[in-house]
Structure 1
Amino acid sequence: MRDWSLRTSLPWLALFGLISATAVIRFDPGSGRPGNARPPATEALLTFKTMLFGIVLEALPFLLLGVAVSAFMQAFVSDRTLRRLIPNHPLGGIAAAAVLCLLFPLCECGIVPIVRRLIAKGMPAYIGVVFLLAGPIFNPVVFAATRAAFRTEPQMAYWRLGFGLLVGCLIALIVYLIKMDRPLKFTREGLSGQAESAEPEAEPPLSLSERIAQAVSHAGHEFFEMGKYLLIGATLTAVIQSAVPRSVMAGIGQSPLTATLLMMGLAFALSLCSTSDAFVASAFAGMLPSGSLLAFLVLGPMLDTKSLLMMLSAFRGKFVLLLILLVVLLVLLGALVIERLGLVGSGG
């Protein structure tokens, strides 16, 4: 567990203070005017409050569910079990990895060290790519959260899972075909030795109560870690919705390419959890093309600021650069094609 000092808590205190201050502002200067007309600043503040609280309150239950499921999977499902369930054939291995992503949902925050351990112990790199890229998207918790966020466009949830799985599997096949089997920054022997010495199975087995305590501790840490990004993302989205004129957003939405690039950049910068990012994306529904929202939902869990830093600490720069280029290219082209064919809605 991390030592939560006052210094590390200051960003949290500032954000919660902002939300609290916004919540207690109850004045309505326009209430006594003819027609109850409000000044533009008051309208913007009301929009900000409504958007901020709407996103946070809708997303928090799914964020909590996601980190809880992920934590219990990590505590009760060992690396050895995952390796044993994956066949040696490339296509069969990729398919099995995809099924395991669905059965054992893991948060993107903890997937990088898991994949690094699995590769160090002999799992092919292309199988690790499936877990790394498709795992945070292709799971039932993310599907349920996306369905809840896009109630009027339920097909967005199906397209998110299908498109995310397709991109992850295609990149895994490319990694297999180019024979990139040494992606780790450190030597496999050295890292494998460290992993084996730290592997829980090499130690006395944990009791049920110890595993539950471990899972609860991990879930609590991940919840506060990812809740920080949710608050930042919800605040930024509320600011955009309240401060940027709809005519400007409509102008951006006229070009699918511009809108898609904008949402991909936003997904990378916000670093939201895949169990809560759909509620941020849905705030732009009707303003931007649906294809650009799909790009946001697929690229974010695969590639964002925090995951990039973690990948650079674990994998060689050449391998990370390859993943970046393939993810950006496939998500951009796929989202534009899907938008062009009108498969995920009417757009903006």
Structure 2
Amino acid sequence: MPVVTFLQLNTIFLSMIMEAIPFILLGVIISGLIQTFLSERLIARILPRNRYLASLIGCGVGLFFPACECGIVPITRRLIRKGVPLHAGIAFMLTGPIINPIVLFATYIAFGNDWNMVLIRGGMAIVVAYFTAIVISYLYPKLPLRGMEGAGAEIAAGAESLAGERVRMPMRSRLYDVMLHAIDEFFSVGKYLVLGAFIAASMQTFIPTSTLLHIGSTPIAASLVMIGLAFIMSLCSEADAFIASSFRSTFSIGSLSAFLVFGPMIDIKNTLMLLAVFRGKFVLVLIALVAACTLASSLLVGRLMG
């Protein structure tokens, strides 16, 4: 491998790790707080039983969680293990990295203080996440989490008794418990981040972007190219709008919206983290649903804005 290529690979890899680490830390700390302070009874009271309403609420929760796609997976796993329905958890996981205020503001700045792209990105993210969550709710009545075979009722019963014990614990002990959970979650998810970042950096280094750009000559091909580019580049959702804006002279608003929505929902890094949390078949179904919904939505946006 030439020295220049190695240095490029190394630079991209390290920049991805450095960009993701703060959000992973934020994600695992929030996960620890959920585990320690949020009871199953409270979740059951807040969330409606209706799958359509629960998924809609899941889509909106991301407004209050400033986490990128790197940190959202551990939060989602903890919420689902605490009793949040799978469809509501998936809706939150898909929209969280896009509709939080930090990402929307970054999109506004990247596109020259233009609210149009902000509204397109946020609205399209909610549509894609909501439709995906509803389909998932019908396809997977049982949790597809790894290590959950036959343990659902046992975990729920044990968690309730633990929640009762935690209420009686002094605050210092509870905060110590938060840190223990956060550390455990960090090392559980962190190794997949490193592996995913290396694969993404390798693909960026050895697959010329010009090759992908040359393929996108029709609206469908352009959206598919931008979906593929978003997956390969694996950018943090706080930064991807600045990259997308550099393609404005080459691609339409429809295909740019595909890049801005698909990347934060599914990329190489979080695919590996998803595989650590969910069963492989479920992850494949989830990726296919998100890709199909993103493609259809981007074509609709392209037609309306064209």
For normalisation by structure 2, the TM-score amounts to 0.71
Q: Among residues 149, 153, 160, which one is paired with 2:121 in the alignment?
A: 160
Q: What's the counterpart of residue 122 of structure 1?
A: 83
Amino acid at match of 1:292: S
| Displacement of 1:130 | 0.8
| Displacement of 1:217 | 9.3
Give the conservation status (yes or no) of the 8 Å contact 2:29–2:179.
Answer: no
| Displacement of 1:15 | 6.0
Bigger helix share? 2
> Among the aligned pairs, what percent are the same residue?
34
Q: RMSD in angstroms over aligned alpha carbons?
A: 4.2
For residues 284 and 166 of structure 1, what CA distance do their matches in structure 2 show? 24
For residues 170 and 8 of structure 2, what CA distance do their matches in structure 1 show? 41
2:136 pairs with 1:175? yes
Aligned residues: 279
Q: 1:330 to 1:303 in 2, by over 3 A?
A: same
Once the two structures are superposed, the pairs formed by residues 122-271 of structure 1 within 5 Å of their partners are: 122-151=83-112, 153-187=114-148, 190=151, 204=169, 206-207=171-172, 252=215, 254-271=217-234
For residues 264 and 332 of structure 1, what CA distance do their matches in structure 2 show? 8
For residues 178 and 230 of structure 2, what CA distance do their matches in structure 1 show? 33
Give the conservation status (yes or no) of the 8 Å contact 1:108–1:301.
Answer: yes
Q: What's the counterpart of residue 60 of structure 2?
A: 99
Q: Among residues 86, 103, 117, which one is paired with 2:47 in the alignment?
A: 86
Give unpaired runs (5+ residues) of structure 2. Answer: 1-5
Give unpaired runs (5+ residues) of structure 1. Answer: 1-12, 20-55, 344-348
- String of CA shifts for 1:239-279, please: whole Å, max 9, x gaps: 979xx59xx95x65542222211111111112111111111
Q: Secondary structure at the match of 1:136?
A: helix
For residues 289 and 337 of structure 1, what CA distance do their matches in structure 2 show? 12
Amino acid at match of 1:308: T
2:231 pairs with 1:289? no
Amino acid at match of 2:89: G
For residues 283 and 200 of structure 1, what CA distance do their matches in structure 2 show? 51
Give the conservation status (yes or no) of the 8 Å contact 2:24–2:70.
Answer: no
Amino acid at match of 1:170: F
For residues 285 and 278 of structure 1, what CA distance do their matches in structure 2 show? 11
Give the conservation status (yes or no) of the 8 Å contact 1:260–1:293.
Answer: yes
Amino acid at match of 1:280: I
Which deviates further from its counterpart, 85-94 or 201-210? 201-210
Q: What's the counterpart of residue 339 of structure 1?
A: 302
Structure whose CA Rg is larger: 1
Give the conservation status (yes or no) of the 8 Å contact 1:185–1:316.
Answer: yes
Give the conservation status (yes or no) of the 8 Å contact 2:28–2:75.
Answer: no
Q: Among residues 260, 269, 275, which one is paired with 1:306 in the alignment?
A: 269
- String of CA shifts for 1:259-315, please: whole Å, max 9, x gaps: 211111111112111111111111111111221111011111111111111112221
Q: Secondary structure at the match of 2:251?
A: coil
Q: Secondary structure at the match of 1:158?
A: helix
For normalisation by structure 1, the TM-score amounts to 0.64
